[in-house]
């Protein structure tokens, strides 16, 4: 499947499709904006640049990584990624990352990306998705739990952010 179509909560069309190299600029800038918010990702400055994002997208054309973008009425709204675990014996397991642009949050875009990426993951023969989030990220926890991800552990004080230590919640879901 190359494209998935959903509706936002306010009935706008959300098209989720595989990322193209031309998406690199919007994806990278969204990533930078989310990093700058300082609340959701365990870094305070982006450790990559737009060219590296373009190369990442290019690589997904020929490997098992999955990178999907969501567009709401044609506007870039967010993206989701699946990357295989490194061990040979864990090739059936993918790590998930997701961000939605601030303006488009809480409208159903995250759910659309998650539903599409599970299907894209099955096509790439993944059987399990693992992810993690800050214990304080109630929106992400609500989204993941509502889709059947369950908590398998917590790493205490795993991140030191400017406002102090944050626990990392580890979650997973079998997708086959
Ligand atoms: C977390 C994130 C990906 C969720 O995407 P989203 O588009 O905002 O979420 P959706 O609108 O699809 O909502 C899905 C579920 O999330 C929860 N949720 C969404 N908005 C919420 C809010 N304002 N308060 C509480 N829960 C909320 C609900 O469980 C919701 O399900 P429901 O619509 O059936 O009530 C998005 O908010 C985001 O990118 N946040 C910043 C970056 C981030 O946290 N990335 C994940 C790091 S692990």
pLDDT tens column, 124-174 = 999 999 999 999 999 999 999 999 999 999 999 999 999 999 999 999 999
pTM, two decimals, is: 0.97
What CATH number is given for 3-130 in this structure? 3.40.630.30
| Any ligand 1 atom below 6 A from CB of 43 | no
With b for 16 or more beta-carbon neighbours within 10 A and e for fewer, the 158-176 pattern comes to: beeeeeeebebbebbbebe
Domain map of the chain by residue range? 3-130
Q: With a 6 A CB cut-off, is 38 part of the ligand 1 pocket?
A: no
Q: What is the CA radius of gyration of the chain?
A: 16
Distance 25 CA to ligand 1 centre (A): 23
């Amino acid at each position: 499947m190359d494209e998935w179509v959903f509706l936002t909560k306010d009935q706008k069309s959300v098209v989720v499709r595989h990322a193209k190299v031309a998406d690199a600029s919007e994806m990278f800038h969204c990533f930078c904006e989310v990093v700058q918010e300082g609340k959701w990702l365990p870094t305070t400055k982006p450790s990559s640049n737009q060219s590296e994002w373009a190369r990442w997208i290019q690589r997904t054309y020929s490997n098992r990584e999955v990178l999907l973008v969501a567009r709401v009425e044609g506007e870039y709204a967010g993206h989701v990624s699946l990357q295989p675990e490194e061990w040979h014996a864990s090739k059936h397991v993918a790590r998930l990352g997701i961000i939605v642009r601030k303006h488009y949050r809480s409208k159903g875009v995250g759910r659309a990306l998650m539903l599409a990426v599970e299907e894209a993951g099955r096509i790439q023969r993944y059987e399990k998705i693992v992810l993690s989030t800050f214990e304080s990220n109630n929106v992400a926890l609500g989204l993941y739990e509502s889709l059947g991800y369950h908590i398998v552990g917590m790493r205490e004080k795993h991140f030191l952010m400017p406002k102090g230590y944050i626990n990392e919640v580890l979650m997973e879901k079998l997708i086959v």
